[in-house]
Structure 1
Amino acid sequence: MRSISAENLAALPARKLVLADLLWIEVRDRSTGDRVVEGQWSGVGQRGMQVINPRTGGVETRTFYGTYTLTEISDIPLVHNITVQTVTVKMSQINARVEELLRQYDAQQAPVQIFRTLFDPETMQQVAPAMPRFLGFVDKIEIKTPAENEDGGVNLTCKSHTQEMTRFNTDTRSHESQQLRLPGDAFFRDVAVVGDWEHFWGKVNGKLETSPGIKAATKG
């Protein structure tokens, strides 16, 4: 069961609410590497809208632009586990701003947030801050340039942030690496040579035996 705000819960029985989807994407400038943030929504016009930041839980006001550029968002599974979810976002291929975001800037692995908000149809004001529905990254970009009399578009395939848990750390447990994490920490100072140390136990001497698990731990 998903909890919603008291404002949304009170407004839902009227069955006259207007739904809107919001997309927040953080691309990178190819020249400087600086972050460029952009908000798009499924409506028309520029609007400042309140959203619940999925990372902090706080309410923020962000600016979203719309000329029917955000055409479709696939179903978003609402699950209580850490499985990696995939969501497809379809955008207008003929919109100049969309072209700029995806061609001029680097959108590969760009952080993405998707929200849904409800509007009062009489005032067209938000009933409550937009709820976050998806947090992840752009995994694949497909820009379809249509032939004559065919449909084009932009498809962003996004993976949820839980995919970060599937990545492997290429760093090794070494003294040099530990100094980058915590300068002055000597815990791994002898990790490269400790396997060659010889210890005397009574009349027997030799290298200290280590299990395969310990050997693997010193490598990754």
Structure 2
Amino acid sequence: MRSIDGTTYAALLAAPDAGICERDFVTFYARSLDGLSTSRFCFWNDLDTVTASVLRGDTGAAENRDFVGDGSLFAVDRVPLVSDLTIQTVKVTLSQLHATVQDMVRGNDIRGARVEIHRGLFDPATHALAGSIYCHFVGKVNKAPISTPKAGDEGSVTIDVVSIVRELTRTNPAKKSDETQKRRSGDRFRKYSGVANVPIFWGVEKSRTK
């Protein structure tokens, strides 16, 4: 169960009578095409560009980020709230025409990019933020097809984000070889693994030769 601050709790309690407004905040960490640097792209589904304090998905610390609006973020799927380790997929739909979106998907490499999805609650009467903006989902980009429409149709960039739990299914690419082993503090256990008729003693006393 997640702990929330008192302001958020009060807003949720009053929501059945006073109503409540929610906005999605999505952050992508895209690599440069040469792989030497990482840039942060932040979007939200409202107007203008705003600076908002969100709670990081990895450390929980507060951090200010500049979120671009102006129709850049079309929609975010409802985030599945589960208590097990099943891999969840959330679709994030962005504008194909927005300049910042174009910069991110065409001017950078977003394959496997880290993604954080936050959700903020606002008072519909005052439009003031009701409490902290909590991280709802942490994952990585799985697919990012760009739909180029024909004349008169609408296009978009629909990004599939899979939950970070998928990292548990990653296999270890290391091989049982001398090259791999010696990277570990000079371990030469497999120095002769490719040579026939060379006994390797491990944890036992060498047999005496006559």
The TM-score bracket by the shorter chain reads: 0.7 to 0.9
Letter in 1 for 2:64: T
Distance across 2 between alignment mates of 1:152 and 1:61: 31
How high is the TM-score relative to the length of structure 1? 0.81
Displaced runs of 4+ in structure 1, greater than 4 A?
193-196, 198-202
After TM superposition, give the deviation of residue 105 of structure 1 in Å: 1.0
Alignment-derived partner of residue 51 in structure 2: 48
Unaligned runs of 5+ in 2: none
Any conservation in 2 of the 1:174–1:188 contact (CA below 8 Å)? no
Alignment-derived partner of residue 86 in structure 1: 89
- Corresponding position: 1:36 with 2:7: no
Distance across 2 between alignment mates of 1:7 and 1:14: 11
After TM superposition, give the deviation of residue 124 of structure 1 in Å: 2.8
Sort the Cα spacing of 1:45 and 1:168 in 2 relative to 1 into closer, same or farther, 3 A. Answer: same
Matches within 5 A, 1:58-207: 58-180=61-183, 182-184=184-186, 186=187, 188=189, 190=191, 192=193, 196-197=198-199
After TM superposition, give the deviation of residue 183 of structure 1 in Å: 2.6
After TM superposition, give the deviation of residue 54 of structure 1 in Å: 1.4
Cα deviations by residue, 1:75-116 (Å, 9 ceiling, x for unpaired): 211112221111111111121211111011111111111010
Any conservation in 2 of the 1:48–1:61 contact (CA below 8 Å)? yes
After TM superposition, give the deviation of residue 140 of structure 1 in Å: 0.6
Distance across 1 between alignment mates of 2:116 and 2:82: 16
After TM superposition, give the deviation of residue 25 of structure 1 in Å: 0.2
Query: Which sits farther off after the overlay, 155-164 or 26-35?
Result: 26-35
Distance across 2 between alignment mates of 1:60 and 1:162: 24
Unaligned runs of 5+ in 1: 203-220
Sort the Cα spacing of 1:24 and 1:191 in 2 relative to 1 into closer, same or farther, 3 A. Answer: farther
Any conservation in 2 of the 1:174–1:191 contact (CA below 8 Å)? no
% identity of equivalent residues: 31
Sort the Cα spacing of 1:179 and 1:30 in 2 relative to 1 into closer, same or farther, 3 A. Answer: same
Alignment-derived partner of residue 18 in structure 1: 21
Q: CA RMSD in A?
A: 2.7
Any conservation in 2 of the 1:92–1:98 contact (CA below 8 Å)? yes
* Matched positions, count: 202
3-state SS of the aligned residue for 1:115? strand
How high is the TM-score relative to the length of structure 2? 0.84
After TM superposition, give the deviation of residue 121 of structure 1 in Å: 3.1
